[in-house]
Amino acid sequence: MYAPAGVKTSKDFPVPDTMKAWVLGDPGQLTLKDKPVPVPKKAEVLVRIDAVAICATDLDNIYHGPPALIEGGLPFNKNWTPGHEYMGTVVALGPGVDEYKIGQRISVEIHAGCGQCKRCREGMYTSCHNYGLNYGDVDKGHRANGFTTDGGFCEYQVNNINTLVAISDEMSDEEGTLVVTAGTAMYGLTEVGGLVAGESVVVTGPGPIGLMAVAVAKALGAQPVILTGTRDNRLQLGLELGADHVVNIRKDANVVAAVRKANGGKGVDYVIECSAAPNAVNEALKMVNRGGKVCLAAFPHDPALVDIAHIVRNNIYLYGIRGEGKSATHRAEAFMRQKRFDATKIHTHTFPLADLPTALRYAKDRVDDAIKVVVKAKMDAAHKQAAE
Ligand SMILES: [Zn+2]
Ligand SMILES: [Zn+2]
């Protein structure tokens, strides 16, 4: 039985020595294998993963490699387990941990910085200068689970306590996986100023982060919130999550004019760019008024030409954000706990962990209008219980 030295466990939450874990071979090739259950070190806990959501970035990691960075290179054939948007139950405590209890339900954020570089010391742990350094003689202790270290498409994972967010018991497992998505939106809005009550916000791209950006902006009091995109069903969800106006850019070719019209003829204060469309940055720059702020939360695969003179002449601020920094997941969870918006509207499908390839196909090809697809290791047991 699992009982590593210095690690606290409980009879109520027995932990096996080995677990099922999906491992990436060549691009797009995943195999379900047995792996040892990892052991938490100082300031870490062992999390039993109860649910994990699939993100577009997982598909990049699995099919292309970057932004995953394993032992300084591509993630293929390195016995690496992807997956990063998970929640679960604390089942073992590493040395020195009393901040969380065994049996506590938590959601996780991805990045645990090294804690010793300039950016980590500033609280910008998602921009850690020792990103990806966690191996051999360059081991700085950095972890970005599912990017630089093993992630969540398995049964157990270790997490630094700084990456944990305690969640409400009323929150379902599926909703718990969305804390990090809402946290990314919260981080973007934090970076452009944080307090957006009464200010105008455009969100471009109704993917999961864009839809959560609509919900968080509205919860922060933004007015109006305008969402642009190409799919009516996604735009409808945006309205349900708090958008005051939506613009379907397939029907309204001049999206900049449509946004200005929806904002009383003026440019807006903020744009949160979540589409990664080739001309999205130039359009965002034209949507904001002078002195406005544009936050880029999506990464396109190709470089883009940008009208820099327009940025300078109009004193526009341009931000790039990585991940869900500055503890934004805690603020996002607070909104969700208070039921300020219903994040579960973007959850569409759940599959057993053993069916991960099917779940990935649903997410990748948007089968059956899939948005957030979740996999659960204990799904069969839970269903059996419900049936009894
Ligand atoms: Zn993600
Ligand atoms: Zn660091």
| Whether 28 contacts 63, CB under 8 Å | yes
pTM for the predicted model, two decimal places:
0.95
List pLDDT tens digits, range 153-212.
999 999 999 999 999 999 999 999 999 999 999 999 999 987 789 999 999 999 999 999
Distance (Å) from CA 131 to ligand 2 centroid:
7
Q: Looking at residue 131, what is its pLDDT? A: 97
List pLDDT tens digits, range 270-322.
999 999 999 999 999 999 999 999 999 998 889 999 999 999 999 999 999 99
Residues with CB under 5 A from ligand 1 (ion): 55, 57
What does DSSP say about strands 85-93 and 105-108: parallel, antiparallel, or unpaired?
antiparallel
3 state SS of 220: coil
Q: How many CB atoms lie within 10 A of CB 221?
A: 12
Q: Which domains are delineated in the chain? A: 18-110+145-166+342-387 (3.90.180.10), 181-320 (3.40.50.720)
3 state SS of 262: helix
- Report residue 96 as tokens: 């020195």
Distance (Å) from CA 30 to ligand 1 centroid:
18
Of the bound ligands, which one is closest to the alpha carbon of residue 57? Answer: 1
Instruction: Return all residues near 65 (Cβ < 8 A) that are at least 6 apart.
Output: 27, 74, 75, 76
Q: How many CA atoms lie within 13 A of 145 on its CB side?
A: 29
Q: Which amino acid is at 158?
A: V
List pLDDT tens digits, range 3-27.
999 999 999 999 999 999 999 999 9
| Whether 72 contacts 142, CB under 8 Å | no
Distance (Å) from CA 108 to ligand 1 centroid:
11
Q: Tell how many helices (H) and how many strands (E) occur in the chain.
A: 12, 17
